[in-house]
Amino acid sequence: MHNIGILGYGTVGSGVAEVAKETGFLHVKYILDIREIPSVSNIVNDINILINDPEIKVICETMGGKEPAFTYTKLALEKGISVCTSNKELVDAHGVELSEIAKAHNCNYLFEASVGGGIPILRSLRQSCSHEKITNVTGILNGTCNYILTRMKSGQEFDDALKEAQANGFAERNPAADIEGHDTARKIAILASLVSGKKISYEKVLCEGITNISGRDFAYSEKLNMSIKLLGVYDSGQNKNYVLTAPFLVSAEHPLYNVNGVFNGIMIYGTMIDNLMFYGRGAGKLPTASAVISDVIECIKESGRNIYNGLNEEILNVSDINQRRDKFFVRVYDSDLEKVLKSFGHVSDEIKLYSDEFAFITENITLEEFNKLSAGLEIKNKLRVL
Amino acid sequence: MHNIGILGYGTVGSGVAEVAKETGFLHVKYILDIREIPSVSNIVNDINILINDPEIKVICETMGGKEPAFTYTKLALEKGISVCTSNKELVDAHGVELSEIAKAHNCNYLFEASVGGGIPILRSLRQSCSHEKITNVTGILNGTCNYILTRMKSGQEFDDALKEAQANGFAERNPAADIEGHDTARKIAILASLVSGKKISYEKVLCEGITNISGRDFAYSEKLNMSIKLLGVYDSGQNKNYVLTAPFLVSAEHPLYNVNGVFNGIMIYGTMIDNLMFYGRGAGKLPTASAVISDVIECIKESGRNIYNGLNEEILNVSDINQRRDKFFVRVYDSDLEKVLKSFGHVSDEIKLYSDEFAFITENITLEEFNKLSAGLEIKNKLRVL
């Protein structure tokens, strides 16, 4: 029996306790939470009790947020206690520093559950693809947004889909972090850091959400036999490093097209292995907890030796997003047809579904070029095409 | 620099040499092959040269077939040299025995490349899902069959699709092992062994191929908004353990529907992690070689200590396939309509596309029940529905 501690008894934390019990060889000796939870016997509110108990070799940090998670994690690692976390905000903000501390104390800081919920993407990158040169990562990384977009595809408007997501517990009461793309940006920043071997913080990621997607956008996508997905993208072709979060049109043939509801899908391209995709539950109590436990098991196996977790101090040089080439799907007012033809020249796939507007898809151009060409045009909406 | 040896300089073996070079830290000191290959300097034809060189800690077995691969692998493991293989036939036939030998000599026998080509499925099961109770594995495991079926979906007949696959190097001159389902059966047998923790050899797997799939079957599947995929299935619900390889109708909403061409897709269900799917190149020189190299790297990291590879001696009790419940898609002669209604009762989804026949889908029934009900009927074809 291995004794572990849990920091924070929320959705994921209580899931970790449940999954740990299932394993039969993990015993949750302490659960740290500021609240009094009568149903839980081994609850404590002082971190020192955990880090001063020599029986505790691994702690699961499922509090979320920067503090006190950062302070507690540091205290544990400095005592040589490994920490496994689902806290992407902390990994993004202090992951490198915490990894250094773990290294210095021959223990580990692992964060499988911080990206893709139950999907074993980080371990696969770390252990199966460490010899691959991975030049592209494209992922549906936020279950809340994917649920909303999936419902919109079947006819709902954004506000109703959001309300439904909240009613089903798939979206927070304050959904900003999800629907504005910040959560996806944090996750693609972590993935980009791991595959590039250099640090990228999420402030460097172009961050567009889904709040301006309308039923009309889906009507056009239907017509084009495509769907709309919020994607996190890392793209390091031609000595450029683009990292962005934005809604994309995805064709029905693409493996990410069928990633629906709260599920996540992450596609990577390696120069030898070609395309790989991982699909699974990107959130939820037990899947996320299962990922935390997979880290706990690795920490126990590797007890006393620090393993490379993929994070490095060196900063990734992120390229100017204005120089990235994309095809853009654009909706403009009907009255602007002449302007469009004048500035964009021959417009491929001009689509007419509504009397007051039409849509078209540009050639492969940079955002800078797009902005020049669309000067004077009133753009109703624009989406990148994958 | 780590020195490795390669047994067999075929497609995968030459790929392993190429990927090893790419890593920058692996040096292929010997390549064993019976042929004289002038372009290759370090070719040898005596296994003893490799196993008696103390610099060789890992050998890649990419010969395929049982002998001499089995003998050579045993000799290497007995010397404490780890062996990484893409040889599913050998893993199926002698994997347990070879794993025991590796254990006794503190080295490792790993076989990531034997299932799913470049897809890191075995390592994910071993290292990320070891604490999960996995009750179902459903996979498109043979790129040749999936290529043929994908071409048939777009209108080709079986023979033309097979010829095209052979012309493109996706199918052997003698394609029996692929199109009759034996390759898929071997792979699902290995996957079933790993997730159940008990041995199942592929002779125990119901093995149906794709040779009797016709353009008409695809016409019906199109009508049903489904596709036809050759699946390997391990299903351990309700204290039963079914392991089968057969063509299935797969609906357009299912994540495996979009796994096309030579790609493979493997879906697993774990009681805590729910559904996971892995997608990638199931064959091909570099993707398969990359998987072999991922094992080599693990062997080097774990040098001197044997790691659990998931194979066990205890035999899995496989349930009688006649008791498994499935919905069956059935094509019969037009003249048999009355018989069908009489024996199968109300027929849902009766589909009429051709003057001389019609198709229907049964309720969820056992194969035994199906055979009883269809006595006296001439079945043109029948397919399970996923």
Report pLDDT for A275: 96
Is the Cβ pair A127, B131 closer than 8 Å? Answer: no
Relative to beta strand A226-235, strand A134-140 is antiparallel
Per CB-CB distance under 8 Å, the chain A contacts of B257 are: 258
Rounded to an integer, the average pLDDT of B79-95 is: 96
For chain B, percent of residues with pLDDT exceeding 90? 88
Relative to beta strand A263-270, strand A226-235 is unpaired
- Structure confidence by residue, pLDDT tens digits, B178-230: 999 999 999 999 999 999 999 998 899 999 999 999 999 999 999 999 999 99
Report pLDDT for A173: 84
**Interchain contact A186–B (C-beta under 8 A):** no
Q: Which residues contact A111 (CB under 8 A, 6 or more apart)?
A: A84, A85, A86, A87, A88, A91, A95, A122, A190, A295, A309
Report pLDDT for A170: 83
Report pLDDT for B171: 82
Report pLDDT for B274: 96
Distance from CA of A64 to the nearest CA of B (A): 21
pLDDT category at B35 given cuts 50, 70, 90 is confident
Distance from CA of A312 to the nearest CA of B (A): 19
Mutation target among B127, B130, B308 for the A interface, most CBs of A within 10 A: B127
Number of H helices, E strands in chain B: 13, 16
Report pLDDT for A36: 82
Mutation target among A288, A290, A386 for the B interface, most CBs of B within 10 A: A290
Contact B129, A294 (CB under 8 A): yes
pLDDT category at A376 given cuts 50, 70, 90 is confident
Please state, in angstroms and rounded to a whole number, the distance separating the CA atoms of residues A118 and B129: 10
Here the tokens at position A215 are 């039923």
Per CB-CB distance under 8 Å, the chain B contacts of A120 are: 124, 127-129, 276
**Interchain contact B300–A (C-beta under 8 A):** no
- Structure confidence by residue, pLDDT tens digits, B109-126: 999 999 999 999 999 999
Least reliable range by pLDDT among B160-174, B273-287, B353-367: B160-174
**Interchain contact B280–A (C-beta under 8 A):** yes
pLDDT category at A347 given cuts 50, 70, 90 is low
Report pLDDT for B347: 66
CA of B274: which chain A residue's CA is closest? A287
- Structure confidence by residue, pLDDT tens digits, A194-253: 999 999 988 999 999 999 999 999 999 999 999 999 999 999 988 899 999 999 999 998
**DSSP letter string, A27-74:** EEEEEE-SS--TT-TTEES-HHHHHT-TTEEEEEE---SSTTHHHHHH
Mutation target among A119, A227, A272 for the B interface, most CBs of B within 10 A: A272
Rounded to an integer, the average pLDDT of B245-262 is: 95
Distance from CA of A286 to the nearest CA of B (A): 5
Please state, in angstroms and rounded to a whole number, the distance separating the CA atoms of residues B69 and B7: 8
Q: Interior CA angle at A385 toward A383 and A386, to 5°?
A: 135
For chain A, percent of residues with pLDDT exceeding 70? 99
Q: Sign (positive/negative) of CA torsion B346, B352, B357, B360?
A: negative
Which B residues 360-379 touch A at CB under 8 Å? Answer: none
For chain A, percent of residues with pLDDT exceeding 90? 88
Report pLDDT for A350: 80
Q: Is pLDDT of B89 > 90?
A: yes
Rounded to an integer, the average pLDDT of B272-281 is: 96
**Interchain contact A294–B (C-beta under 8 A):** yes
**Interchain contact A22–B (C-beta under 8 A):** yes
Mutation target among B119, B131, B278 for the A interface, most CBs of A within 10 A: B131
Report pLDDT for A93: 93
Report pLDDT for B190: 96
Q: Is pLDDT of B37 > 80?
A: yes
Distance from CA of B268 to the nearest CA of A (A): 10
Q: Which residues contact B362 (CB under 8 A, 6 or more apart)?
A: B327, B328, B330, B344, B370, B373
Is the Cβ pair B130, A281 closer than 8 Å? Answer: no
Rounded to an integer, the average pLDDT of A298-326 is: 94
Contact B272, B134 (CB under 8 A): no
Rounded to an integer, the average pLDDT of A291-295 is: 97
Q: When comparing pLDDT for B336 and A277, which is higher?
A: A277
Is the Cβ pair A255, B254 closer than 8 Å? Answer: no
Q: Interior CA angle at B340 toward B336 and B342, to 5°?
A: 120
Report pLDDT for B211: 95
In the DSSP assignment, the letter for residue B346 is S
Is the Cβ pair B120, A130 closer than 8 Å? Answer: no
**Interchain contact B167–A (C-beta under 8 A):** no
Residue of A57, A88, A187, A285 with catalytic role: A187
Catalytic residue check, B204: no
Q: Which amino acid is at A107?
A: C
Distance from CA of A285 to the nearest CA of B (A): 9
**Interchain contact A132–B (C-beta under 8 A):** yes
Per CB-CB distance under 8 Å, the chain B contacts of A293 are: 131
Report pLDDT for B382: 95
Q: Which amino acid is at A249?
A: L
Give the dihedral of Cα atoms B3, B5, B11, B17; nearest 10 deg.
10
Quick count: other Cβ atoms within 10 Å of Cβ B57?
19
Please state, in angstroms and rounded to a whole number, the distance separating the CA atoms of residues B183 and B178: 5
Is the Cβ pair A22, B131 closer than 8 Å? Answer: yes
Per CB-CB distance under 8 Å, the chain A contacts of B255 are: 258-259, 279
Q: Is pLDDT of A349 > 80?
A: no
Q: Tell me the count of A-B CB pairs closer than 8 A.
A: 139
Distance from CA of B14 to the nearest CA of A (A): 13
Is the Cβ pair B281, A259 closer than 8 Å? Answer: no
For chain B, percent of residues with pLDDT exceeding 70? 99
Per CB-CB distance under 8 Å, the chain B contacts of A284 are: 274
Report pLDDT for B341: 87
Please state, in angstroms and rounded to a whole number, the distance separating the CA atoms of residues A320 and A312: 22
pLDDT category at A346 given cuts 50, 70, 90 is low
Distance from CA of B274 to the nearest CA of A (A): 7
Considering chain A, what is the average pLDDT of its residues? 94
pLDDT category at B349 given cuts 50, 70, 90 is low
Residue of B57, B88, B187, B229 with catalytic role: B187
Is the Cβ pair B290, A273 closer than 8 Å? Answer: yes
Is the Cβ pair B273, A293 closer than 8 Å? Answer: no
Q: Which letter, b or e, does each residue of B308-334 get, where b requires 16 or more Cβ atoms within 10 Å of its Cβ?
A: ebbbbeeebebbebeebebbbbbbbee
Please state, in angstroms and rounded to a whole number, the distance separating the CA atoms of residues A186 and A205: 8
Is the Cβ pair B120, A119 closer than 8 Å? Answer: no
Distance from CA of B149 to the nearest CA of A (A): 16
**DSSP letter string, A239-265:** G--EEEEEEEEEETTSTTTT--TTEEE
Examine the predicted complex and report whether its ipTM is higher than 0.90: yes
- Structure confidence by residue, pLDDT tens digits, B308-348: 999 999 999 999 999 999 999 999 999 988 888 888 886 66
Per CB-CB distance under 8 Å, the chain B contacts of A280 are: 273-277
CA of B112: which chain A residue's CA is closest? A128
Relative to beta strand A109-110, strand A82-85 is parallel
pLDDT category at A171 given cuts 50, 70, 90 is confident
Per CB-CB distance under 8 Å, the chain A contacts of B294 are: 127-131
Per CB-CB distance under 8 Å, the chain A contacts of B127 are: 120, 123, 127, 294, 298
Distances from the Cα of B321 to the Cα of A88, A298, B39, B314, B366, angstroms? 46, 37, 51, 21, 8
- Structure confidence by residue, pLDDT tens digits, A352-369: 999 999 999 999 999 999
Paired strand residues for B243: B234
- Structure confidence by residue, pLDDT tens digits, A99-130: 999 999 999 999 999 999 999 999 999 999 99
**Interchain contact A84–B (C-beta under 8 A):** no
**CB nearest A19 (choices: B257, B259, B272):** B272
